[in-house]
Amino acid sequence: MFTLGIAGGTCSGKTTLANKLAEMLTADGLSVKVIHMDAYFKKQCPTTTAPVTGIEYPEHNHPDSFELDRFYADVEAAKASSGDLLIVEGLLILQQERIRELCDLKLFVDLPSDERLIRRVHKFMKLRGQTIDEVADRYLDTVRYRHNEFVEPSRWHADLVINGVFNEVGAEVIYNYITKTVKGE
């Protein structure tokens, strides 16, 4: 089974790209499974203390925040099952060597930090009812540090870096490559 790994910073467009590709490839008759790393957060998440403010936050941007053994097992089981394409997406996909080794194509979705912050503000205010200050403080206190520590360096493991300002051309290029590869054209 062809496996596509998609990584990138918070709110960079990873899930949007994964879902769009799954939709396009399924419409083309391919069997597609998508695994979102966010589904593997530990129920008892570790905490982190912001280096500048000293505020303690739940940690969602560190490898220790995930049930990695269950994640690996599910990815490996999905890859071994029947089907045409497996898409694995999440913050730390390319940071995890064990997942990188399973991927046939590795993408990094890039978006400037100010745009990711604005997207995160909108998303977290809408979905979690947080205030703009709560979202901004958390981002500035911890998320950007973890991005610089874990996510950004992982871009060097990508086969392709794609613009997170979603456009049809980028998805179409990836779609064409996967279709040709999977169908052996």
Give pLDDT, residue 169.
83
> Is pLDDT above 90 for 12?
yes
> Is pLDDT above 90 for 67?
yes
In 39-177, DSSP assigns E strands to: 47-49, 56-58, 85-89, 105-110, 160-163
Residue 29 belongs to what domain range? 2-183
List the alpha helices (DSSP H) in 50-112: 68-80, 97-100
DSSP 8-state symbol, 164: S
CA distances from 37 to 69, 106, 166 (A): 12, 15, 20
Q: What is the pLDDT of residues 24-66, one digit of tens each?
A: 999 999 999 999 999 999 999 899 999 889 999 999 999 999 9
Q: What is the pLDDT of residues 101-121, one digit of tens each?
A: 999 999 999 999 999 999 999
Residue count (the chain): 185
High-pLDDT (> 70) share of the chain, %:
99
How many domains does the structure of the chain reveal? Answer: 1
Give pLDDT, residue 111.
92
CATH number at residue 53: 3.40.50.300
Region 3-16 average pLDDT = 95
- The answer to whether the Cα torsion of 83, 169, 93, 105 is positive or negative is positive
pLDDT band for position 128 (cuts 50, 70, 90): confident
Cβ-in-10-Å burial (0-12, 13-18, 19+) of 52 comes to exposed
β-strand pairing of 85-89 with 32-36: parallel
β-strand pairing of 160-163 with 105-110: parallel
Structure tokens at 36: 């979102």
Assign residue 90 a region (left: φ > 0; alpha: ψ between -120 and 50; beta: otherwise). left
Region 141-170 average pLDDT = 91
- The answer to whether the Cα torsion of 6, 65, 75, 150 is positive or negative is positive
Mean pLDDT of the chain: 93
> Is pLDDT above 90 for 127?
no
The answer to whether residues 149 and 142 touch, using CB atoms and an 8 Å cutoff, is: no
